[in-house]
Amino acid sequence: MKNPVRVCLVGAGRVARVHANSLLRHVPAGELVGIVDAVREVLNRAGDELGIDRRFETLETALDWGQFDAVVITTPTFTHCSLAVMAADRGKHVFLEKPMALNLAECDEIIRAAERNHVLLQIGFMRRFDPEFEAAYARIQAGEIGRPMMIKSLTNGPGLPPPWARDLVQSNGMLAEVNSHDWDCVRWLMSANPERVYVEVANLKGQALGVDTPHFYDNVLVSIRFEGGGLGSITGVCPCEYGYDARVEIVGERGLMQIGEAKGQAVVVCTDRDHGLVTPIYRTWGQRFAQGYIREMEAFLQCIQTGVIPRAGGMDGRWAVAGVLAGTRSFLEERPVYLSEVMGA
Amino acid sequence: MKNPVRVCLVGAGRVARVHANSLLRHVPAGELVGIVDAVREVLNRAGDELGIDRRFETLETALDWGQFDAVVITTPTFTHCSLAVMAADRGKHVFLEKPMALNLAECDEIIRAAERNHVLLQIGFMRRFDPEFEAAYARIQAGEIGRPMMIKSLTNGPGLPPPWARDLVQSNGMLAEVNSHDWDCVRWLMSANPERVYVEVANLKGQALGVDTPHFYDNVLVSIRFEGGGLGSITGVCPCEYGYDARVEIVGERGLMQIGEAKGQAVVVCTDRDHGLVTPIYRTWGQRFAQGYIREMEAFLQCIQTGVIPRAGGMDGRWAVAGVLAGTRSFLEERPVYLSEVMGA
Amino acid sequence: MKNPVRVCLVGAGRVARVHANSLLRHVPAGELVGIVDAVREVLNRAGDELGIDRRFETLETALDWGQFDAVVITTPTFTHCSLAVMAADRGKHVFLEKPMALNLAECDEIIRAAERNHVLLQIGFMRRFDPEFEAAYARIQAGEIGRPMMIKSLTNGPGLPPPWARDLVQSNGMLAEVNSHDWDCVRWLMSANPERVYVEVANLKGQALGVDTPHFYDNVLVSIRFEGGGLGSITGVCPCEYGYDARVEIVGERGLMQIGEAKGQAVVVCTDRDHGLVTPIYRTWGQRFAQGYIREMEAFLQCIQTGVIPRAGGMDGRWAVAGVLAGTRSFLEERPVYLSEVMGA
Amino acid sequence: MKNPVRVCLVGAGRVARVHANSLLRHVPAGELVGIVDAVREVLNRAGDELGIDRRFETLETALDWGQFDAVVITTPTFTHCSLAVMAADRGKHVFLEKPMALNLAECDEIIRAAERNHVLLQIGFMRRFDPEFEAAYARIQAGEIGRPMMIKSLTNGPGLPPPWARDLVQSNGMLAEVNSHDWDCVRWLMSANPERVYVEVANLKGQALGVDTPHFYDNVLVSIRFEGGGLGSITGVCPCEYGYDARVEIVGERGLMQIGEAKGQAVVVCTDRDHGLVTPIYRTWGQRFAQGYIREMEAFLQCIQTGVIPRAGGMDGRWAVAGVLAGTRSFLEERPVYLSEVMGA
């Protein structure tokens, strides 16, 4: 076996723990050697729980220590660019959670930093590594349903996002924080870039939840026309209360494909004929994409060990950000927006 | 269109109303012209509800009137033989609810009465007319799963049967009253007669339900060896509380087939992530086999109009009774019992 | 029982046969007494097959005979207004296939004709009478998933529509001919009128199929903002090759609801482990909505017998036409279109 | 983190590779340090593929080296007793594949060897560690479906077992080699020991496959009466051609529970309306119980690290062997057999 890749975790929140768990329990190819978080209390709690002794309040001090090969960045989106560039400039490979950045200029900065330092850059699009999505992609590529014509991707999630994650200025809102995966998946599965988008949003529960974020929305419906003529939709409802739900449906020239299901476990119970059959649902994204999270980390470490370019790279992250920006402009201006308007010529 | 077949309903209980509903609302080929029930109050309530003016307390008086072509007999099993023979002897076609009779001598009497009077005899095995079971049978016949090797049929039902229906002497008990359909279906789908059976029964809820019927059982598990070597099981749980559930699974030399599902309607609701997806179940046999009940009556009337022999005939009813008798002997004597033991050489 | 309602069928095409079959085989409350078709050969073939002796080449001659209570109009959309008004003016109740008409002026003419003649008008929105859709509607009304926020309705169908049915001038195209049911269902299930729509269309198979209809599209994606703030999408792919597929999914403030499934029959077969489980799909709209077609006719006849106003009436048909018109303008002008633009103040 | 447990693999066949893969790729708590196989060529191929340098042709020589804490024994059943006792006597913890042994005397020897040497003994009943089975067990224990009354467990597998695995003398045949898991699961899920069993077997494909093993059967149907009165069935079809299929269904006093499904992945494709929806099935036991295999190894290593007694221990293995022996006697003697007959007083 190769030597394990030494990894420093940047950020100690929920998704950080998912990656830490992968590294500690499921992916022998990686070794979690340090952790960074600006909040001392969060840092220590995470360090204690995960059994990591090397703890840093800034990425800078971690880099000064420097005994690692790669960073896994899970901090809020607005910090991504500076942290990713800083790590790349010190020669560290970068695994960067989605959304890649707040705007395309930041995306470009990150991509250039990785390139000039010859480090690898992978974006946290774990759905590409989920066994179902991966099998579906392979079968589409093999021509099983013919050329994809129409795709629908949905992500509904249970909890109200934190204030920064629903604010258009700090995070680009739900289109970015919840639906980044959909933006990536529809483009990946269609093998086509979006050409123009039209977005409707609605704020139906905000008032009851006491949300006063400007432009807040809890329901979003995206229409996409792809280059080459395919069509697609993305929908998101957050908070949706009922669970975590992520599914895709595609109609190709020769057939239908459904990826994923709301059902979370094959245990069905019926105890009341008025009620009927009850089947567990996925409760969280961590549960739904448990395999995807482990396998994206395995893939990243394997890329580092073998020098192969990651499958979910900087340009993929950039396209997802572009979709978010065009989509946001669409609902603000109430018109279809071409991707070229936000991406330039 | 041919003239409708004039039908007299004998018995006014639950399944009688199912057949009456078919004749009144769904099967223009039949006309419900009279009704018989020994209990004046039941008779009048049913007659009023169904809008039938000709009402009789005995089949004899109905036959004296005689303005009908066929009878649909839905009375308790122990009355089947005398009623069916009486109707046949007056030239009426006979639709006879399952179980056909209490013993094989009665079955033979009924079969002979139909033969000597040249009237048609159909047993109420509505599963053979359910679209799913019918399609499955056709696909097995077409060789889709190869020669059937192993079949499992289950019927679980929600309510405690009435005292006569759980008493071995009056009705042959649950094996007959609940599982007659399974006995018929496994033989029909396997295209093979049972050779020997072994039965285990359990009385697990009887005491709590205050049942003191001798030999009462609420769980039954039948093992069958078919002529030609195939194997099969029948299970029944009654009362099972959770709904009405009837499914079959077959393994053939070339594959698996599943017929039916517990799910009763394609409406799925999820409102609670701790709870999960909830799907309606079939609540009653009337609901599960709604199409089967209508279509078996259509088929019976069409046989009368065209002179074709019914698909679910006297010999099919007789085999189901034979299975019940062998099965009952098996659990009483705690040993495998050959069908030849109850059927004679 | 009430006297059967006497019905004259106007048009003898595919959906006409579905209604004829309901009247002849499944709905004793109606009697099919006459048939009209302008093409003598079609008329005679249908008349022979259905056993109807009274045959007319025009509705006028049928009305001159006049021995019926109601008409069931199944002719092409552009004929609906004149035929429906003519029948109403002669005092006949009108069952009118969807789409109701080509434009709102025609819808209004039909509605006024029914009103001034005191006849009933029902539009052929059979999904409202499908047991699954009906149960789903009742459960939404009962508050089971809370206020509906997001609805998605899809209809994919297997065959290329005839030239008139894909031409915007003659029929308003696929949005009308295939997706009328979706327009009605989303409004019905959301209990809200659409406020504005945005539509993307694509013509991806037309060239290969040799279609040269102007503005032809085989894929359509509709975004809807409802009054009150809910969102919705309608998609259609036609021809889709793989079968007939009509499903709805709704997220409410308290949960998810899925109505219908692609699966058409609960018979599952597996004969090859490379291939997997195979389940029948609905092949045609007649098969998918077999119950809905029967039950909408029962409901119409019952309204006539009891004087109750039909559930799927003229205003429902008018709203669906309005959606189609706004949607068509949207994709032609590449902008969101308010319903008020096509409906006037 | 604790020091990894050092493991020596005994046997280098198919299931050995599954465990090796768990240790190398998924379970950081274990370290695979040596491998034993009597066949030099098999040994070297496995050692090369898995990257294990320490290779032994006998367990004895491995024990002489001795630098490990535990053995994972995956050799044919008839070798289990001597190998397990030998390892235990040298102080090694023992993970032993199912079936535990050929007879109860061997089971007792193994259990006593583990006890006198104070080493842990775990039997390879991975279904107990499958997330679905584990959740189901917990929910039964919590009383969700009331007291279990009727259980059905099936295991169908695709390939013809090797000659030794279908020979009653060498292996106890399919009841042991294929259905050991079912024997364990029904007892575990029912929380009750079997009291008597009745078994039917059939040899339906043997001749076509050229099998001449005496008493060979490819279909088996077990009826079980449990202590306390519950009923159960086990069925096995092997080879079944269509895939690997393992499911359980339980009816309790208050409801139904279904565990597992034939479906192997949530990707559904439809490309042909004659054909319908196609869903992948599990192809192999390794695929079906991928999580179970990993988690049973994690659990075993954790027991070693913490000194906790394994959940699937020697007595569980012994009961499964007893079931097999009683079942075999049943079909040979064509009568129900009490477990007490094979277990002694």
C230 has a pLDDT exceeding 70 = yes
Q: Which of B154, B237, B242 to mutate to test the interface with A (most CBs of A within 10 A)?
A: B242
What integer pLDDT is reported at residue D3 of this predicted model?
82
Interchain pair D205, B253: CB under 8 A: yes
Query: What is the per-residue pLDDT across A206-246, written as a single tens digit (0 to 9) for each?
Result: 989 999 999 999 999 999 999 999 999 999 999 998 999 99
How far apart, in whole angstroms, are the C-alpha atoms of residue C251 and residue C144? 11
C1 has a pLDDT exceeding 90 = no
Using an 8 Å Cβ cutoff, are B150 and B230 in contact? yes
How far apart, in whole angstroms, are the C-alpha atoms of residue C295 and residue C19? 10
How far apart, in whole angstroms, are the C-alpha atoms of residue C152 and residue C182? 9
D17 has a pLDDT exceeding 80 = yes
Top mean pLDDT of B56-70, C19-33, C267-281 is at B56-70
How far apart, in whole angstroms, are the C-alpha atoms of residue D240 and residue B249? 14
Least CA distance to D222: which residue of chain B? Answer: B223
Cross-strand partners of A190: none
Q: Which residues of C touch D283 (CB under 8 A)?
A: 273-274
Average pLDDT over residues D89-110: 98
Q: In terms of Cα–Cα distance, which of C23, C330, C293 is closest to C173?
A: C330
CA A177 and chain centroid, separation: 8
End-to-end Cα distance, chain D? 47
Average pLDDT over residues C293-314: 96
Out of D243, D268, D274, name the one closest to residue C273 (CB).
D243
Average pLDDT over residues D47-65: 97
- A51 DSSP 8-state letter: T
Out of C202, C251, C335, name the one closest to residue A149 (CB).
C202
How far apart, in whole angstroms, are the C-alpha atoms of residue B114 and residue D191? 53
Q: In terms of Cα–Cα distance, which of C159, C237, C175 is closest to A232?
A: C237
How far apart, in whole angstroms, are the C-alpha atoms of residue A335 and residue A333? 6
Paired tokens of C104: 């709102």
How far apart, in whole angstroms, are the C-alpha atoms of residue D19 and residue D22? 5
The average confidence (pLDDT) of chain C is: 95
How far apart, in whole angstroms, are the C-alpha atoms of residue B323 and residue B337? 10
How far apart, in whole angstroms, are the C-alpha atoms of residue D108 and residue D99? 14
Interchain pair A271, B242: CB under 8 A: yes
Query: What is the per-residue pLDDT across B30-66, written as a single tens digit (0 to 9) for each?
Result: 999 999 999 999 999 999 999 999 999 999 999 999 9
Closest CA of chain C from B272, distance in Å:
7
Q: In terms of Cα–Cα distance, which of B246, B215, B216, B220 is closest to B233?
A: B220
3-state class of A23 per DSSP?
helix
Q: In terms of Cα–Cα distance, which of B238, B235, B197 is closest to B216?
A: B238
Out of C132, C135, C270, name the one closest to residue B255 (CB).
C270
Paired tokens of C89: 């003016």
Q: How confident is the model at residue C345 (pLDDT cuts 50, 70, 90)?
A: low
How far apart, in whole angstroms, are the C-alpha atoms of residue C22 and residue C1? 18
CA A196 and chain centroid, separation: 22
Least CA distance to B255: which residue of chain C? Answer: C271
**How far are the Cα atoms of B185, C282, D131, D252 from residue B248, in angstroms, in the given order?**
9, 22, 27, 20
How far apart, in whole angstroms, are the C-alpha atoms of residue B277 and residue B268? 6
Interchain pair D200, B150: CB under 8 A: no
- D128 DSSP 8-state letter: G
- Which subunits have 3 or more CB–CB pairs within 8 Å of chain B? A, C, D
B233-270: b (≥16 Cβ within 10 Å) or e: bbbbbbbbbbbbbbbbbbbbbbbbbbbbbbbbbbbbbb
HEC string of chain B?
CCCCEEEEEECCCHHHHHHHHHHHHHCCCEEEEEEECCCHHHHHHHHHHHCCCCEECCHHHHHHHCCCCEEEECCCHHHHHHHHHHHHHCCCEEEECCCCCCCHHHHHHHHHHHHHHCCCEEECCHHHHCHHHHHHHHHHHCCCCCCEEEEEEEEECCCCCCHHHHCHHHHCCHHHHCCHHHHHHHHHHHCCCEEEEEEEEECCCHHHHCCCCCCCCCEEEEEEEECCCCEEEEEEECCCCCCCEEEEEEEECCEEEEECCCECCCEEEECCCCCCEEECECCCHHHHCHHHHHHHHHHHHHHHHHCCCCCCCHHHHHHHHHHHHHHHHHHHHCCCEEHHHHHCC
The average confidence (pLDDT) of chain D is: 96
Using an 8 Å Cβ cutoff, are A81 and A57 in contact? no
Q: By mean pLDDT, which of B43-52, B206-215, D7-16, D315-324 is the weakest? A: B206-215
Q: In terms of Cα–Cα distance, which of B283, B290, B311, B307 is closest to B27?
A: B290
What integer pLDDT is reported at residue D265 of this predicted model?
94
Least CA distance to D253: which residue of chain B? Answer: B240
What integer pLDDT is reported at residue B45 of this predicted model?
96
Query: What is the per-residue pLDDT across D258-267, written as a single tens digit (0 to 9) for each?
Result: 999 999 999 9
What integer pLDDT is reported at residue B241 of this predicted model?
86
For chain C, give me the number of helices (H) and strands (E)? 14, 15
Task: Decide which of C98 and C3 is more confident.
Answer: C98
D284 has a pLDDT exceeding 90 = yes
233-272 in C: which are within 8 Å (CB) of A? 233, 235, 237, 240-243, 245, 251, 253-256, 258, 262
Q: Which of C256, C271, C298, C302 to mutate to test the interface with B (most CBs of B within 10 A)?
A: C271
What integer pLDDT is reported at residue D345 of this predicted model?
57
How far apart, in whole angstroms, are the C-alpha atoms of residue C326 and residue B245? 48
How do A5-10 and C277-279 pair as beta strands? unpaired
How far apart, in whole angstroms, are the C-alpha atoms of residue C220 and residue B293? 41
Helix (H) or strand (E) holding C156: strand C148-156
Average pLDDT over residues D83-98: 98
The average confidence (pLDDT) of chain A is: 96
The amino acid that residue D45 corresponds to is R
How far apart, in whole angstroms, are the C-alpha atoms of residue B70 and residue B26? 18
pLDDT > 90 in chain C, percent:
91
Using an 8 Å Cβ cutoff, are A52 and A32 in contact? yes
3-state class of D307 per DSSP?
coil
Out of A1, A26, A139, name the one closest to residue D269 (CB).
A139
Q: How many CB pairs under 8 A join B and C?
A: 86
CA A328 and chain centroid, separation: 18
3-state class of C37 per DSSP?
coil
Average pLDDT over residues C176-196: 97
Site of tokens 């006049």:
C66
Least CA distance to C263: which residue of chain D? Answer: D277
**How far are the Cα atoms of B170, B217, B222, C319 from residue B214, in angstroms, in the given order?**
12, 9, 20, 66
How far apart, in whole angstroms, are the C-alpha atoms of residue A12 and residue B235? 54
Interchain pair D260, A268: CB under 8 A: no
Out of D28, D266, D271, name the one closest to residue A145 (CB).
D271
Residues making up chain B, counted from first to last: 345
Closest CA of chain D from A158, distance in Å:
22
3-state class of C214 per DSSP?
coil
Out of D201, D202, D231, name the one closest to residue B221 (CB).
D231
CA D300 and chain centroid, separation: 15
Query: What is the per-residue pLDDT across A36-87, written as a single tens digit (0 to 9) for each?
Result: 999 999 999 999 999 999 999 999 999 999 999 999 999 999 999 999 999 9
- D55 shares contact with chain B (CB less than 8 Å): no
Q: ∠A233-C138-C99 over CA atoms, to 5°?
A: 60
Interchain pair D270, C158: CB under 8 A: no
Q: How many CB pairs under 8 A join B and D?
A: 124
Specify burial of residue D264 (Cβ count, 10 A radius: 0-12, 13-18, 19+). Answer: buried
- C225 shares contact with chain A (CB less than 8 Å): yes
Interchain pair B242, A278: CB under 8 A: no
Average pLDDT over residues A170-178: 93
Query: What is the per-residue pLDDT across A320-332, written as a single tens digit (0 to 9) for each?
Result: 999 999 999 999 9
Q: Which residues of B touch D237 (CB under 8 A)?
A: 149-150, 251
- C50 shares contact with chain A (CB less than 8 Å): no
Dump the DSSP string for A210-229. T---TT--SEEEEEEEETTS
Helix spans in chain A (H): 14-21, 40-50, 59-65, 80-89, 104-117, 131-141, 163-166, 168-171, 173-177, 180-190, 206-209, 285-288, 290-306, 314-333, 339-343
Interchain pair C241, D268: CB under 8 A: no
Question: Phi-psi category of D334—alpha, beta or left, where left has phi over 0 and alpha has psi -120 to 50?
Answer: left
Calculated CA dihedral for residues B205, A268, B275, C263, nearest 10 degrees:
-130
3-state class of D146 per DSSP?
coil
Interchain pair D264, C241: CB under 8 A: no
Using an 8 Å Cβ cutoff, are C319 and C47 in contact? no
The average confidence (pLDDT) of chain B is: 96
Q: In terms of Cα–Cα distance, which of B19, B13, B123 is closest to B75?
A: B13
What integer pLDDT is reported at residue C28 of this predicted model?
84
What integer pLDDT is reported at residue D118 of this predicted model?
98
- Which subunits have 3 or more CB–CB pairs within 8 Å of chain C? A, B, D
- C194 DSSP 8-state letter: E
Q: ∠B197-B198-B204 over CA atoms, to 5°?
A: 135
Interchain pair C278, D283: CB under 8 A: no
B1 has a pLDDT exceeding 70 = no
What integer pLDDT is reported at residue A274 of this predicted model?
87
A159 has a pLDDT exceeding 80 = yes
What integer pLDDT is reported at residue D2 of this predicted model?
63
What integer pLDDT is reported at residue C2 of this predicted model?
63
How far apart, in whole angstroms, are the C-alpha atoms of residue A157 and residue C201? 29
B320 has a pLDDT exceeding 90 = yes
- A334 shares contact with chain C (CB less than 8 Å): yes
Q: Which residues of C touch B274 (CB under 8 A)?
A: none
Interchain pair B283, A272: CB under 8 A: no
Q: How confident is the model at residue B81 (pLDDT cuts 50, 70, 90)?
A: very high
CA D183 and chain centroid, separation: 9
- C280 shares contact with chain D (CB less than 8 Å): yes
Cross-strand partners of C117: none
